[in-house]
Structure 1
Amino acid sequence: MNLKLDQISNIRNTEIQITGSKSETNRLLILQSLYPEIEIENISNSDDSQLMKKALASEIELIDIHHAGTAMRFLTAYFAVNNGRSTVLTGSKRMQERPVKILVEALEQLGCEITYEKDKGYPPIKIIGKHPKTNSVSLAANVSSQYISALMLIASSLPEGLEINLKGKITSVPYIKMTLNLLNDVGIEGTFVDNTIRIPHVKVVSPKLMVVESDWSSASYFYSIVALSEAAMVTIGSYKKESYQGDAALADFYQNLGVQTTFDNHKITLTKIPLPKVTKVIELDLSNSPDIAQTIAVTCFGLGIACYLTGLHTLKIKETDRLVALKVEIEKLGGQVTITEDSLRLATRVSITPDVSIETYNDHRMAMAFAPLALRTSLRIENANVVSKSYPDFWTDLKKLGFKSNEF
């Protein structure tokens, strides 16, 4: 489905309910498979979480997780210690270009048996589940946090627990802390001190109901919409002030982009406020929240503000190379972007080219990050249904705000 978005002058003030965080849901689904005493409410309705549920319930050997990167990493670790089970994990063409070598090598340190079906270091992979031979593993600290979380999630099921030693500077710390917090919440008391994570063996946990907080990454698009509006107030739920999600930093970041956040009874209200007069260049280190980089870059472009975003090295191995994709699509619209391996610099915008067709590269965040620009220009979103990967109701919720779209 391709969508043409008409330019609109402003939005309706309304309330939107966003389903549970994909990141929290997928972690809890792994834990629930290991500890059936756990119940989960407000599960994400994203494609990724539905694929995770299906894979965990499956008894067949070949499991295709399509574009779901989190599922690939978490399930690799999960099946690797499922003694005696043979599993082949595969995915989309892009998934077969996304590396798993560092995680596989870490699991091999434990004595797990994993082989590559095609290219070394990439899916598809064949896993023969084994009992681990050791309770300690080491890996680089500057890798995707999903590798580290994958090991953390299976750690308590191992006979002696697991010690994870991280070498170098750690990136995406909030995602590691999210995993640790969820483990602690279900009764698995792990620790994260300096560069060492220790998680004990736990045979059973007490029955526990886990309510998933709504997704902050999905909230980012409403921050962008309010920022690009002339005047607006949008309430979204359900959120908490002390969030486990690194993307909750949105509340601080967008204060400088003209959005005030008010917390009240598990809901947040986003209100348009004047831009700070001193705002010339927005400089942000997004190493702890890289998934909101696209949203922030497009917001700045729409506002005509220059930005310099760093800490983006993990974006090159996402659904697409997000740095290259951002540069190409923003420059179609008349922007000027410079990228490195881990940064993006956007120059101050002069004008916006109307009716540009935005390619989404099978990346849900490309579609959703660019959609708010309809408050500044008409544009087209190719393969718009890619949003189902994380936020299936996105286009329906935009209609509630007054966005006008037609298929083309």
Structure 2
Amino acid sequence: MTIKLHQTDQLTNAAIEITGSKSETNRLLLLQALYPEIEIANVSNSDDSIVMKQALSSHKKEIDIHHAGTAMRFLTAYFAIQNQREVLLTGSKRMQERPIKILVDALQRIGAYITYQKEIGYPPILIKGEQNLKSKVHIDAGVSSQYISALMLIGSSLPKGLTIHLEGKLTSVPYIQMTLHLLKDIGITANFIDNTITIQPKQVVTPKRLVVESDWSSASYFYSIVALSKDNTSITLSSYKKDSYQGDAVLAKIYTAFGVQTTFTNESITLKKESKHLVKPPIELDLSDSPDIAQTIAVTCFGLGVECHLTGLHTLKIKETDRLAALKIELEKLGAIVDITTEALHLQPTDHILDGIAIDTYQDHRMAMAFAPLALKTGLQINEAEVVSKSYPDFWSDLKNLGIKISEF
């Protein structure tokens, strides 16, 4: 599906409800599979979470998780401890190009039986579950925090728990902290000291109801919309909390540079544009703890004609697409001047945005949503717009509620 976003000058001040965080939901779904005493509320309605839930309840020998990267990593660890169960875990063509070797190596070192069915280091993988795994493992910390979280989530189910020694520079630390907090929330003893994570064994937990906070990554697109809008534009989003477990909550601080003020009220946030708070460019940010908001920030800077230099982006190359390369291609279509390295993006300021450009999404939900706020500056098309369902199925209808005119081809 291709959609056209018509340039919009005036937004409707609206209140939008965003469903639970995909990151929190998928962690809790796995923990619920291990500990059925847990009840989860405000579960994400994203494709990834639906796939995760279906996979955890499936009794099939072959499980296809399509494009769901988090599900691939978490389920690899989960099925590795399902005693006497054999599962072939596979995914889309792009998923079979995304590396999983570091996690598989770590699981194999503690006794898991996992073999590659095509290319070494990539899905599909055949997993034969084994409960009696070792209690200590070393893993490279510099590639993806999801590998580490996958090990943390199964640690308490092992006979002696699990001690994880992290080697190298840590990536996306807030996501590791999120996993740690959720483990503690259900009563599991877990610690993260220096570069060592320790998870104590626990067979049964006390029944508990956990409410998933709404997704801050999804909120990022509304921060961008407000940043690109006129003064006094405001949007209210729910349900959010000030003491969030999500690393992307740093948005509230980052977007003050673009004149967006965040007010927390009960379980909602109100975003308001106030140009008097704009920070003098260039914008320089290290996003190693929150790489998922890099696309949104880069597009915001382009829309405002602001120079930016974003670093800490080395994990973007192994996402749904090579996000750095995709950003460069699509921004340059619109008239931007962009330089990228393996871990950074530099955008030069420009005061002209080309009209009517068709943005390719590369089967990446964040490409579609990150570019959508440019409707405040120009008309544009989004190809394969349905890809937003991966994390935010209601995105286009929520934009319409803001007064952004959208038509389908």
Instruction: For 1:39 and 1:303, locate their aligned partners in 2 and report how far apart those are by CA, in whole Å.
Output: 44
Is the contact between residue 8 and residue 404 of structure 2 (CA under 8 Å) also seen in structure 1? Answer: yes
Instruction: For 2:44 and 2:207, locate their aligned partners in 1 and report how far apart those are by CA, in whole Å.
Output: 21
Per the alignment, residue 34 of structure 1 pairs with: 34
**What aligned pairs does 1:174-213 form with structure 2 within 5 A after superposition?**
174-213=174-213
Is the contact between residue 156 and residue 199 of structure 1 (CA under 8 Å) also seen in structure 2? Answer: yes
Per the alignment, residue 126 of structure 2 pairs with: 126
Per the alignment, residue 283 of structure 1 pairs with: 284
Is the contact between residue 171 and residue 288 of structure 2 (CA under 8 Å) also seen in structure 1? Answer: yes
Per the alignment, residue 256 of structure 2 pairs with: 255
Per the alignment, residue 226 of structure 2 pairs with: 226
**What aligned pairs does 1:3-22 form with structure 2 within 5 A after superposition?**
3-22=3-22
TM-score, with length taken from structure 2: 0.99
Instruction: For 2:134 and 2:19, locate their aligned partners in 1 and report how far apart those are by CA, in whole Å.
Output: 39
The amino acid across from 1:127 in the alignment is: I
Is the contact between residue 308 and residue 346 of structure 2 (CA under 8 Å) also seen in structure 1? Answer: yes
Residues 334 and 90 (structure 1), Cα distance of their counterparts in 2 relative to 1, 3 Å cut: same
Residues 49 and 277 (structure 1), Cα distance of their counterparts in 2 relative to 1, 3 Å cut: closer
The amino acid across from 1:404 in the alignment is: K
Is the contact between residue 84 and residue 129 of structure 2 (CA under 8 Å) also seen in structure 1? Answer: yes
Q: Tell me the secondary structure at the aligned position of residue 316 of structure 1.
A: helix
Residues 209 and 335 (structure 1), Cα distance of their counterparts in 2 relative to 1, 3 Å cut: same
Residues 84 and 363 (structure 1), Cα distance of their counterparts in 2 relative to 1, 3 Å cut: same
The amino acid across from 1:50 in the alignment is: I
Is the contact between residue 323 and residue 339 of structure 1 (CA under 8 Å) also seen in structure 2? Answer: yes
What displacement does 1:276 show? 4.4
**Number of residue-to-residue matches in the alignment:** 408
The amino acid across from 1:30 in the alignment is: L
What displacement does 1:350 show? 2.6
What displacement does 1:168 show? 1.5
Per the alignment, residue 73 of structure 2 pairs with: 73
Residues 130 and 15 (structure 1), Cα distance of their counterparts in 2 relative to 1, 3 Å cut: same
Instruction: For 1:186 and 1:303, locate their aligned partners in 2 and report how far apart those are by CA, in whole Å.
Output: 44
Residues 279 and 61 (structure 1), Cα distance of their counterparts in 2 relative to 1, 3 Å cut: same
Per the alignment, residue 310 of structure 2 pairs with: 309
Instruction: For 2:406 and 2:134, locate their aligned partners in 1 and report how far apart those are by CA, in whole Å.
Output: 56
Whether 2:321 is the aligned partner of 1:320: answer: yes
Instruction: For 2:83 and 2:114, locate their aligned partners in 1 and report how far apart those are by CA, in whole Å.
Output: 13
Per the alignment, residue 54 of structure 1 pairs with: 54
Residues 6 and 35 (structure 1), Cα distance of their counterparts in 2 relative to 1, 3 Å cut: same
Per the alignment, residue 356 of structure 1 pairs with: 357
Per the alignment, residue 339 of structure 1 pairs with: 340
Whether 2:82 is the aligned partner of 1:85: answer: no
Is the contact between residue 110 and residue 132 of structure 1 (CA under 8 Å) also seen in structure 2? Answer: no
What displacement does 1:309 show? 0.3
What displacement does 1:278 show? 5.0
Is the contact between residue 258 and residue 278 of structure 2 (CA under 8 Å) also seen in structure 1? Answer: no
Whether 2:359 is the aligned partner of 1:370: answer: no
Whether 2:122 is the aligned partner of 1:141: answer: no
Is the contact between residue 257 and residue 275 of structure 1 (CA under 8 Å) also seen in structure 2? Answer: no
What displacement does 1:280 show? 1.7
Describe the superposition over 1:228-256 as per-residue Cα deviations: whole angstroms up to 9, x where unpaired. 00131100000000000000000000000
Residues 163 and 382 (structure 1), Cα distance of their counterparts in 2 relative to 1, 3 Å cut: same
Q: Tell me the secondary structure at the aligned position of residue 87 of structure 2.
A: strand
What displacement does 1:275 show? 5.3
The amino acid across from 2:36 in the alignment is: P
Residues 96 and 16 (structure 1), Cα distance of their counterparts in 2 relative to 1, 3 Å cut: same
Per the alignment, residue 272 of structure 1 pairs with: 273
Q: Tell me the secondary structure at the aligned position of residue 132 of structure 1.
A: coil
Describe the superposition over 1:337-365 as per-residue Cα deviations: whole angstroms up to 9, x where unpaired. 00000000000013001000000000000
The amino acid across from 1:23 in the alignment is: S
TM-score, with length taken from structure 1: 0.99
What displacement does 1:277 show? 5.7
Per the alignment, residue 96 of structure 2 pairs with: 96
Residues 109 and 275 (structure 1), Cα distance of their counterparts in 2 relative to 1, 3 Å cut: farther
What displacement does 1:131 show? 2.5
Per the alignment, residue 293 of structure 1 pairs with: 294
Residues 277 and 86 (structure 1), Cα distance of their counterparts in 2 relative to 1, 3 Å cut: closer
Instruction: For 1:272 and 1:171, locate their aligned partners in 2 and report how far apart those are by CA, in whole Å.
Output: 32
Residues 393 and 278 (structure 1), Cα distance of their counterparts in 2 relative to 1, 3 Å cut: closer
Describe the superposition over 1:142-201 as per-residue Cα deviations: whole angstroms up to 9, x where unpaired. 120000000000000000000000011111100000000000000001000000000000
Is the contact between residue 257 and residue 278 of structure 2 (CA under 8 Å) also seen in structure 1? Answer: no
Per the alignment, residue 114 of structure 1 pairs with: 114
Is the contact between residue 256 and residue 275 of structure 1 (CA under 8 Å) also seen in structure 2? Answer: no
Describe the superposition over 1:301-345 as per-residue Cα deviations: whole angstroms up to 9, x where unpaired. 000001000000000000000000000000000000000000000
Instruction: For 1:50 and 1:20, locate their aligned partners in 2 and report how far apart those are by CA, in whole Å.
Output: 12
Unaligned runs of 5+ in 2: none
Q: Tell me the secondary structure at the aligned position of residue 236 of structure 1.
A: strand
Instruction: For 1:175 and 1:4, locate their aligned partners in 2 and report how far apart those are by CA, in whole Å.
Output: 35
Q: Tell me the secondary structure at the aligned position of residue 353 of structure 1.
A: coil
Unaligned runs of 5+ in 1: none
Describe the superposition over 1:1-37 as per-residue Cα deviations: whole angstroms up to 9, x where unpaired. 1101100102100100000000000000000000000
